[in-house]
DNA sequence: GCAAGTTGCTAAAACGTTTTATAACTTTGT
DNA sequence: ACAAAGTTATAAAACGTTTTAGCAACTTGC
């Protein structure tokens, strides 16, 4: 009869490898973190090639895996970043997170996700959870009222990249859309196709990206001499559905010719409203949406929209973060992605005689 | 002139709190982890209420935050779980992850995400990254060929919950759809509405959920005496778009009456194919899709589909995992979510005379 | 043949917790 | 009054790394 065997196998540590190889644990540590090769002639650690080979072979044979808690404790880094967005189930953000994940993993980082639901107190609590976990840096899409919480994190010295939404006056890197141009682009395309009464549906939240898109809209309307038609409607986050339907219905009733929906979510609610009201697009109302969603190409008619490269947003935000993490005094930089207009029938050239039939 | 001030403020540790309070660090530790209150009369640690108050007050005042690396190192747990799915940008999974995140955070856990792109080698590498990070448990939606890698993790003793896709013979908890019933349900609804030539488009991957949906389809076709019409088409993951279009086109040419698309992704490609081929749904072909997507309700006609509660999938999988983590000898359990049919015009009762006009 | 440099390695001190064993003191029972 | 039991707290040993300081031994330059 054997004594009961301990189910959890004793973890193999750096010490076991060192003993087996007949060297010090320090040497094993150096071999495992390949940074001992004099990268640039600096006073790096030196190990003979044969020792490296021997130790790696033994580590492999013993199935050694470094304990990252111990490593983090001693070194102060976790090789983990936090990504805070408003909702990871929102396609715009899940796409970005996916790209971040890709590049982060291949750079040896893992990513902790957190969603704020656009609530500042959740943002604050997420930031505190993630910083307490000891992330090496954060990519943050802030929310309305989140400036203070983010500032505190930045002040603490943790590398931060602001994604999609800006907070003024912070010494951080940023990756965002040229929102003003994006807003103006919507007006430009519609104007060129003969629409004049162009209105915009927005939120009442204080989010830089939305605000700038509004600004772009206003500016563009002024530039083409349509400021008398410029009108921005506001919905409250959390009750967008009904709100958008009412707004669209009213606007159409008042003779609006085209509407811009400057957000992923707003756009989807807009389509819902269009269906509910039985509107014919673009005859009853033209529309330009934002971001990307499979529905835009499947809908009849296809939906014109202003997109942004989520790949660039994701990849660049990680790269900027990584620079800050791995090289302490990297200056902050800003990466602006340009909006891309993707055409669709929802903003097709206006048939000017359309309403005459009913008049 | 002052000497240059050190930018990174010295971290405040348990030791600082202990010194300030005039107690031992052990006591502070016990107070911070509130598990000393005799939960059930066990020989738990005891601290006087006034000491608790004093220490918490001081901890707060000094702005003490426990170092989780140290805690993990000593205790062996990280209060982090890993979630491995095929693609977090896939709406089905991003929805689930969102629910997991919600409940995990409120239970004091953080979640590390990883996507496999349905590639077994990526799955393996993700599993190894996550286990090396020391996650307390894993929620895994495996992929074709992933059984070995997952088995190894399970054998190592790490708590695992299988999500959406099963691997036979493993002692783990599971959360999945009643796939056989879901597959049969599609046939049932279509049959009831007068469709007979019902075919199914599937993948050539070995994923349990898809296989069982096929099985349900086959079984149901047999039960209603339609096995002569039963036909399963296969697309290869990675080149689904063209493939689906070709399959649908062929099938319609051969007089198919209805098709079932047993996956989120397949369904979207199916709609794309329908648009590309200019089919009239349901007259040219009825269809039933799977899972949920905003496009289903916005499309014209609305799309009937078989959905599953992603909330339950997410919440339950976390709960089952947590039980395993926090109570070592919890027996494995399985949670089956029932498919829900959400009606749409894409499977509306068949107009039997439709083709006679061309005959 | 000897100072100066180079190479390959080691010893040992952290890092900040958790947790066991035990001490000191107070109350209770008899 | 004294043992037993109960209460509150402490000391100290881990946990598994990283990283600094330094030590032999061997080259090299002169």
- Residue B8: list chain A partners with CB under 8 A: 157
Pick the residue with more confidence: A358 or B148?
B148
Which residues from 5-34 of A have any strand C atom under 7 Å from their CB?
Answer: 22-27, 30
Tell me which residue in A126, A132, A156 faces B68 most closely, judged by beta carbons.
A132
Strands B286-290 and B258-260: parallel
A144-149 contacts at long range (C-beta below 8 A, 24 or more positions apart): A144/A118, A144/A120, A144/A205, A144/A206, A144/A207, A145/A120, A145/A206, A146/A116, A146/A120, A149/A120, A149/A123, A149/A124
pLDDT tens string B34-75: 764 444 434 456 778 888 889 999 999 999 999 999 999 999
DSSP string for B247-286: HHHHHHHTT--EEE--SHHHHHHHHHHHHHHTPPTTTT-E
Instruction: State the pLDDT at residue A311.
Output: 97
pLDDT at position A44 is: 56
Query: Between chains, do B134 and A69 touch, taking CB under 8 Å as contact?
Result: yes
- Supply the pLDDT for residue B35: 60
> Cis ω on the peptide bond leading into residue A282 (within 30° of 0)?
yes
Q: Which residue of A has its CA nearest to B275?
A: A298
Rounded to whole angstroms, the Cα distance separating A182 from A216 reads 7
Looking at the DSSP assignment, which residues form a beta bridge with residue B80? B110
Query: For A337, phi and psi rounded to 5 degrees?
Result: -95, 140
What are the residues with a C-beta under 7 Å from any atom of nucleic chain D? Answer: A 11, 13-15, 25-26, 29-30, 32-33, 45, 64-67, 70-71, 73-75; B 22-27, 30, 45-48, 51, 70, 73-74
**Smallest Cα distance from A324 to chain B, Å:** 15
Q: How far is B143 from B84, CA to CA, in rounded Å?
A: 10
Share of chain B above pLDDT 70, in %: 92
Residues of A with CB below 8 A from B130's CB? Answer: 110
Residue of B nearest to A73 (CA): B69
Confidence check: pLDDT of B6 > 50:
no
B236 pLDDT tier (thresholds 50, 70, 90): confident
User: Among A8, A68, A300, whose Cβ lies nearest the Cβ of B133?
Assistant: A68
SS3 A295: helix
B103 near A123, Cβ under 8 Å? no
Looking only at Cα atoms, what is the longest distance across chain A? 99
The residue of chain B nearest to residue A130, with distances taken between CA atoms, is: B110
Q: Among positive and negative, which fits the CA dihedral B124, B130, B132, B134?
A: negative
Angle in degrees, 0-180, between the axes of helices A120-133 and A147-155, rounded to the nearest 10: 20
In whole numbers, what is the pLDDT of chain B averaged over residues? 91
A209 near A142, Cβ under 8 Å? no
pLDDT of residue A5: 37
Q: Is the dihedral of CA B72, B75, B79, B81 positive or negative?
A: positive
Question: Could you read off the pLDDT tens digit of each residue along chain A, which spans 359 residues?
Answer: 333 333 445 789 999 999 999 999 999 999 998 765 444 444 456 788 888 999 999 999 999 999 999 999 999 999 999 999 999 999 999 999 999 999 999 999 999 999 999 999 999 999 999 999 999 999 999 999 999 999 999 999 999 999 999 999 999 999 999 999 999 999 999 999 999 999 999 998 889 999 999 999 999 999 999 999 999 999 987 788 899 999 999 999 999 999 999 999 999 999 999 999 999 999 999 999 999 999 999 999 999 999 999 999 999 999 999 999 998 789 999 999 999 999 999 999 998 754 444 33
- Measure A67 CA to nearest chain B CA, in Å: 7
CA A54 to C1' C16, whole Å? 33
What's the pTM value of the predicted model, to 2 decimals?
Answer: 0.92
Closest listed residue to residue B290, CA positions, set B347, B238, B339: B339
Give B344 to chain A, closest Cα distance, Å. Answer: 14
Residues B208-219: tens digit of each pLDDT = 999 999 999 999
| Residue A271: predicted pLDDT | 96
Task: Name chain A contacts of B276, Cβ cutoff 8 Å.
Answer: none
Interchain proximity A294–B110, CB inside 8 Å: no
Query: CA-CA distance, A32 to A14, in Å (whole number)?
Result: 9
Question: Distance from CA of residue B174 to its chain's centroid?
Answer: 11
- Nearest by CB: B111 against A105, A112, A297: A112
Q: Name the nearest CA neighbour of A24 among A1, A49, A47.
A: A47
Whether A105 and B87 lie within 8 Å, measured CB to CB: no
> How many angstroms away from the CA of B176 is the closest CA of chain A?
20
| Strand C close to B74 by CB, under 7 A | yes
Cα distance between residue B162 and residue B143, in whole Å: 11
- B59 CB-to-strand C distance under 7 Å: no
In this prediction, residue A289 carries a pLDDT of 97
Nearest nt by C1' to B38 Cα:
D7
A325 CA to chain B: closest CA distance, Å?
14
Nucleotide showing the shortest C1' distance to residue A46 CA? C8
CA A198 to CA A105: how far, in whole Å? Answer: 44
Nearest nt to A71, CA vs C1'? D17
Residues B322-352 pLDDT 10s: 999 998 789 999 999 999 999 999 999 998 7
Give the integer Cα–Cα distance in Å for A46 and A99.
37
CB-nearest partner of A295 from B68, B89, B294: B294
**What confidence tier does B297 reach under pLDDT thresholds 50, 70, 90?**
very high
What is the spatial distance, in angstroms and rounded to an integer, between the CA atom of B208 and the C1' atom of D4?
Answer: 63
Give the per-residue pLDDT at A7. 41
Phi, psi dihedral angles at A177 (to 5 degrees): -75, 150
DSSP A254: T
Sheet holding B198-203, edge to edge: B232-235, B198-203, B258-260, B286-290, B304-307, B340-342
Q: Would the Cβ of B269 be found within 7 angstroms of any atom in strand C?
A: no
Q: How far in angstroms lies nucleotide C2's C1' from the CA of residue A41?
A: 28
Q: Which residues of B touch A275 (CB under 8 A)?
A: 297-298, 300
Nearest chain B residue (CA) to A111: B112
pLDDT of residue A344: 96
Going along chain A from its start, the domains and CATH numbers come out as 14-73 (1.10.260.40), 78-178+310-339 (3.40.50.2300), 179-308+342-347 (3.40.50.2300)
Q: Which residue of A lies nearest to B102 if distances are taken between CA atoms? A: A115
The answer to whether the CB atoms of B293 and A294 lie below 8 A apart is: yes
Query: Hey, of A9, A64, A101, A116, which one would you mutate to test binding to chain B, going by the most B CBs within 10 A of its CB?
Result: A101
Q: Are A51 and A23 in contact (CB under 8 A)?
A: yes
Output the CA–CA distances (angstroms, integers) from residue B248 to A322, A358, B274, in the order listed.
46, 42, 8
**Out of A69, A101, A128, whose CB is closest to B115?**
A101
What's the rounded Cα separation, in Å, for the pair B252 and B333?
A: 43
Contact call for residues B197 and B253 (beta carbons, < 8 A):
no
For A178, counting Cβ atoms within 10 Å of its Cβ (0-12 exposed, 13-18 middle, 19+ buried), the class is middle
Closest C-alpha to B80, from B108, B39, B100, B48: B108
Find the mean pLDDT for residues B260-279: 95
B29 touches strand C (CB under 7 A): yes
Q: How far is the CA of B50 from the C1' of C18 (A)?
A: 23
Residues B154-170: what's their mean pLDDT? 96
């Amino acid at each position: 009869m054997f004594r009961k065997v301990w189910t959890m196998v004793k973890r193999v540590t750096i010490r076991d490898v060192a003993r087996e190889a007949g060297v010090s644990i320090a040497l094993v540590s150096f071999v495992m973190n390949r940074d001992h090769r004099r990268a640039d002639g600096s006073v790096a650690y030196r190990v003979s090639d044969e020792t490296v080979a021997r130790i790696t072979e033994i580590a492999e044979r013993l199935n050694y895996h470094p304990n990252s808690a111990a490593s983090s404790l001693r070194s102060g880094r976790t090789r983990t970043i936090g990504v805070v967005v408003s909702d990871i189930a929102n396609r715009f953000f899940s796409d970005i997170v996916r790209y971040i994940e890709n590049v982060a993993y291949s750079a040896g980082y893992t990513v902790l996700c957190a969603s704020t639901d656009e609530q500042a107190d959740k943002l604050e609590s997420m930031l505190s959870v993630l910083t307490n976990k000891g992330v090496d840096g954060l990519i943050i899409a802030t929310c309305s009222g989140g400036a203070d919480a983010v500032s505190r994190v930045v002040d603490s010295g943790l590398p931060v990249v602001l994604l999609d939404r800006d907070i003024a006056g912070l010494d951080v890197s940023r990756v965002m859309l040229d929102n003003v141009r994006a807003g103006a682009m919507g007006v430009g395309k519609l104007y060129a196709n003969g629409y004049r009464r162009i209105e915009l549906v927005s939120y009442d939240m204080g989010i830089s990206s939305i605000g700038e898109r509004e600004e772009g809209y206003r500016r563009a309307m002024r530039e083409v001499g349509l400021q008398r038609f410029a009108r921005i409607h506001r919905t409250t986050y959390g009750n967008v559905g009904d709100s958008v339907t009412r707004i669209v219905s009213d606007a159409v009733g008042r003779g609006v010719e085209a509407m811009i929906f400057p957000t992923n979510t707003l756009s989807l609610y807009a389509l819902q409203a269009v269906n509910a009201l039985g509107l014919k697009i673009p005859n009853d109302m033209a529309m330009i949406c934002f971001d990307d969603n499979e529905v835009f190409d499947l809908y009849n008619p296809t939906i014109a929209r202003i997109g942004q490269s989520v790949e660039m947003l994701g990849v660049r935000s990680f790269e900027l973060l990584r620079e800050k993490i791995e090289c302490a005094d990297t200056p902050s930089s800003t990466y602006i992605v340009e909006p891309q207009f993707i055409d669709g029938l929802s903003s097709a050239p206006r048939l000017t005689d359309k309403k005459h039939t009913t008049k």
